Amino acid sequence: MTAASVTVVGASLAGLATAEGLRRQGFDGVIRVVGEEPWLPYDRPPLSKDVLKTGPAEHPPYLRSEQAFADLQVEWVLGRRCIALNAGDRTLSLDDGSVLPFHLLVVATGARPRRLAPLDGVGGVHVLRSWDDDVALAGDVAHASTVVVVGGGFIGCEVASSLRHRGIDVTIVEPFPTLLFGPLGAEIGERLNRMHSDRGVQLVLGATVSGYRGGNRVEAVVLEDGRELAADVVVLGLGAVPNTEWLQDSGIACDNGVLCDATGRTEVDGVYAVGDVARPESSLYGRRVRVEHWTSASMQGAAVAMTLLDPQARGELVRVPYFWSDQYDTRLNYVGLHERTDRVLVRGSDGDAWQAAWERDGVITAAVASGDPRLLPAMRKALGQPVETHWPIERSRATRVS
């Protein structure tokens, strides 16, 4: 199938990267991008970091300049949600009743925050994924003195750090014994516990929120053991769910994301998936991998653009994952992909500067460092290398090992 026009659903990072990849390779056909939000693609990482520290500006932090967006010559269909993909007649149904035909299609609908049923629709309770979420949250915390963050994952930790910057009292409620227990495990989580307690965050660990006190507006969250934590504002940081429901009757298989081959191709001819919503096969890891990181979304858009124009190109979506997280004045960098059963090695316990690596069968599978971004090139090089020779990871190795 050669490309006459390409339609992208989802006007964010992965969708933009797809459009840019197509133009970069000389595609001069029609590119149409449909997006539920009213905004041109903007950057999400600042929403839990600088934007929350300072309060939002008039518009989101756009990913490109006005000129760069114009140069792309994309037909933007914004403020419209796709509600169905009809594989038979190759059309999309939108929430305003309109129907769009498509030729080649890329699904880049990302993910949305997981919610907590007992707190649904209660005033003062927020999630954080979009610019509109951020504006609502920033408006509310402007008058808040006490905020409860439910969930000690990356978003929860970043929100806590930004709110502490504003002098707000913050409590994090987390069911596991440490912050970031799920993604990074207990040994590293303990360091995060220290980092946040040292900055005055109250940690309520091993606890879950079961309800709230207040009428239309939250006054306190109620824990499963009956304890109450006063809260002017509550922020839920409970992870994200891929936006696949609209594909339900499309013939495209979804299971914790859109199932696709290594190049993003789904079961419907000419329909691909990229970014946070995609769960592609990976020859690198020998299984399906759904990644929710900025760099992956960007690289996957570029990779699928290659395949759309030349199916023989077979651009693989999954590369070695990388993400960063900024908390207080410290940047945490992670590279690779570890399994929970991998053995973790940690070095450095003073303050916020430390590094860790995971090891399986004597080989380094992933590495994370806090407080030393210059370690990143050496961390990348250590992946797949024997622990014996590459642990601890040293900056000088970046030049020594080639």
Ligand X SMILES: Cc1cc2nc3c(=O)[nH]c(=O)nc-3n(C[C@H](O)[C@H](O)[C@H](O)COP(=O)(O)OP(=O)(O)OC[C@H]3O[C@@H](n4cnc5c(N)ncnc54)[C@H](O)[C@@H]3O)c2cc1C
For ligand X, the binding residues (CB under 6 A) are 9-15, 34-37, 44-45, 47-48, 81-82, 108-111, 128-129, 155, 243, 246, 275-276, 292-295, 297, 323-325
Three-state DSSP class for 328?
coil
Is the CB of 23 or the CB of 331 nearer to ligand X? 331
Q: Which of 359, 327, 278 is nearest to 111 (CA)?
A: 278
Q: How far is the CB of 246 from ligand X (least distance, A)?
A: 4
Is the CB of 109 or the CB of 397 nearer to ligand X? 109
Three-state DSSP class for 37?
coil
Q: How far is the CB of 228 from ligand X (least distance, A)?
A: 28
Q: How far is the CB of 215 from ligand X (least distance, A)?
A: 29
Is the CB of 33 or the CB of 262 nearer to ligand X? 33
Q: How far is the CB of 350 from ligand X (least distance, A)?
A: 24
Is the CB of 102 or the CB of 323 nearer to ligand X? 323
Is the CB of 258 or the CB of 356 nearer to ligand X? 258
CB burial readout 100-120, b (16+ within 10 A) else e: bebbbbbbbbbbbbeebeebe
Q: How far is the CB of 251 from ligand X (least distance, A)?
A: 17
3-state per-residue secondary structure call for 55-70: CCCCCCCECCCHHHHH
Q: How far is the CB of 142 from ligand X (least distance, A)?
A: 18
242 preceded by cis ω (within 30°)? no
Q: How far is the CB of 168 from ligand X (least distance, A)?
A: 17
Q: Which of 292, 303, 288, 299 is nearest to 255 (CA)?
A: 288
CB contact at 8 A, 365 and 334 = no
Give the whole-angstrom CA distance, residue 169 versus residue 41. 33
Query: What is the phi-psi region of residue 233: left when phi exceeds 0, alpha when psi lies from -120 to 50, beta otherwise?
Result: beta
Give the whole-angstrom CA distance, residue 153 versus residue 36. 26
CB contact at 8 A, 163 and 140 = no
Burial classification of residue 11, based on how many CB atoms lie within 10 Å of its CB (0-12 exposed, 13-18 middle, 19 or more buried): buried
Is the CB of 270 or the CB of 275 nearer to ligand X? 275
- In this structure, the number of other CB atoms found within 10 A of the CB of residue 4 comes to 9
Is the CB of 161 or the CB of 359 nearer to ligand X? 161
Please give the structure tokens belonging to residue 44: 């999400």
Is the CB of 82 or the CB of 184 nearer to ligand X? 82
Q: How far is the CB of 296 from ligand X (least distance, A)?
A: 7
Give the whole-angstrom CA distance, residue 6 versus residue 326. 36
How is residue 361 annotated by DSSP?
T
